[in-house]
Structure 1
Amino acid sequence: MTAPAVSAALREAAALLLPVACAACGRPGETLCGACRAVLHPDLRRRRLDDGLEVVSALAFEGPVAAALRAFKQRGRTDLARAFAPAMRAALVASALERGLLLEAVPIPPSAAGSRRRGYRPIELLLHHAGVAPLRALRWARATDDQRALGIADRERNLRGAMTVRGDPAGRAVIVVDDIVTTGATLREARRALAAAGAQVVGAVTLAATPRALPARTPPSESPGDSS
């Protein structure tokens, strides 16, 4: 087991022993209270980026979902990975079954500073709890500015050429996985880097999508993972 995996496992064990509060509303005694947990039921949305990449998102990044996801990423609440896993799994299954392919999940890598600060890799932890082994095929080639402070055009410029590949993904059919999609700039850069190395990027999956990025809902008949 890698050092980040050990650190995340220790954090989860500690969360079972120490007093906790709902990560979304603060109610004591539970990782997520019943009302906040209910909003984590998958509500699959599909969006096609301007480069043709289809993104399947499981949740809307707002309200309790946004609060819980911030706690998971920024406050070390790794115990939330289990709560998010069904939604992540539903989006992955929907994306894979639609294409009828055996696909590998390539997570967007955290920055070096983010990994050191957290001691765990959020997206890989989500994939682990969703029952999927991540393929670490991407890495950052250079530092980038915080995307949250940038507009659409600046986000694209900030990320252009920022990723490169590790290993040899040539010929592999993959899905790119991230936690949140807003403009899609990160997913497009990941696709560019993987495609340049010969990988077949057939889609992308995110746990959540910001309100401005939300497309129409996926009809139930087209979302095989919606009940996971």
Structure 2
Amino acid sequence: MDAVRSALAEALSLFFPADCAGCGELDVALCSACRSALHPRPRSRTLAGGLEVHSGLAFEGVAARVVRALKEDGRTGLARSLAPALGAAAAAAHPGSVIAVPVPTSRAAMRRRGYRVVDLIAQHAGLRVESLLVPSRASADQRELGRDARRRNVVGTMRARDAAGRRILVVDDVVTTGATLDEAIRVLRAEGAEVVGAAAVAAVPLHYPARVNAF
């Protein structure tokens, strides 16, 4: 049912294009200049738990506006344009065949949107997606919280199912402090999964190291 809703929303966005999600140019869903701005430039940094996370874009400018339009404005057609960034990050994180497990969408966000953002982008990126993480409790809004408060806030917000013995790449849309990814990795490992890497569409530049991987 989720896939049907996402497909319908994407089809409608093609027939009734909004202004460019990246710059506001009229009557085009995403202009050529903004498409170019979404060309992947994979970067990496190390999470608090020790695992490296790779991201395809910096979460700023055009990329940030396009991600927000997908997440908050129901513009599901933009998932195709963000998919190369996640695909590049996933390839940098683990070049072999692996199961991509999205960080789960909260129940409140799912009710509001009707689709799962990370799953949608990962599917367009051609990743083998399995929803082995599910939400277990609600959390406070992370946006106003500091690093330590974010980590406390996400503890116990998700649980794993059917994860034992699986080789997993954890995927998310945006990395800020990495608290949510760290919790996802902890939960999966506690259930016996082998987490081989982490990847995201974009990461907040404040948290980047100086290293940038060529693509």
The TM-score by the shorter chain falls in which range?
Answer: over 0.9
Is the CA contact 2:43–2:213 (under 8 Å) kept in the aligned structure 1? no
User: Does the residue aligned with 1:158 lie in a helix, a strand or coil?
Assistant: helix
1:206 aligns with 2:197: no
Query: Which of 171, 175, 182 does residue 169 from structure 2 map onto?
Result: 175
Root-mean-square deviation over aligned CA pairs:
1.2
User: Does the residue aligned with 2:94 lie in a helix, a strand or coil?
Assistant: helix
CA offsets 1:116-163 (integer angstroms, 9 cap, x no match): 111111111001111113111111211100111111111011112222
- Aligned mates of 1:56, 1:15 — CA distance in 2: 30
Is the CA contact 2:104–2:158 (under 8 Å) kept in the aligned structure 1? no
Percent identical among aligned pairs is 52
Shift of residue 39 of structure 1? 1.1
1:14 aligns with 2:34: no
In the alignment, structure 2 segments of 5+ residues that lack a partner are none
Query: Which of 175, 188, 194 does residue 194 from structure 1 map onto?
Result: 188
Shift of residue 218 of structure 1? 3.3
- Aligned mates of 1:106, 1:82 — CA distance in 2: 18
CA offsets 1:11-51 (integer angstroms, 9 cap, x no match): 11111111421012110122111221111011110111122
Give 2:3's aligned amino acid. A
Match of 2:102 in 1: 107
What is the TM-score of this pair, normalised by structure 2? 0.96
- Aligned mates of 2:191, 2:73 — CA distance in 1: 35
Is the CA contact 2:17–2:29 (under 8 Å) kept in the aligned structure 1? no
User: Does the residue aligned with 1:145 lie in a helix, a strand or coil?
Assistant: coil
Match of 2:83 in 1: 85
Shift of residue 219 of structure 1? 3.8
Displaced runs of 4+ in structure 1, greater than 3 A? none
Is the CA contact 1:102–1:173 (under 8 Å) kept in the aligned structure 2? no
Is the CA contact 1:106–1:136 (under 8 Å) kept in the aligned structure 2? yes
Is the CA contact 1:44–1:217 (under 8 Å) kept in the aligned structure 2? no
1:141 aligns with 2:139: no
1:117-156 equivalence runs, <5 A? 117-156=112-151
Shift of residue 88 of structure 1? 1.2
In the alignment, structure 1 segments of 5+ residues that lack a partner are 221-225
Give 1:149's aligned amino acid. E
- Aligned mates of 1:187, 1:107 — CA distance in 2: 10
Query: Which of 201, 217, 224 does residue 211 from structure 2 map onto?
Result: 217
CA offsets 1:184-217 (integer angstroms, 9 cap, x no match): 1000100110000000111100000001122233
CA offsets 1:88-138 (integer angstroms, 9 cap, x no match): 1111112222xxx43110001101111111111111100111111311111
- Which stretch of the first structure deviates more once superposed, 209-218 or 125-134? 209-218
Query: Which of 27, 30, 39 does residue 29 from structure 1 map onto?
Result: 27
* C-alpha spacing 1:70/1:219, structure 2 compared with 1 (3 Å): closer
What is the TM-score of this pair, normalised by structure 1? 0.91
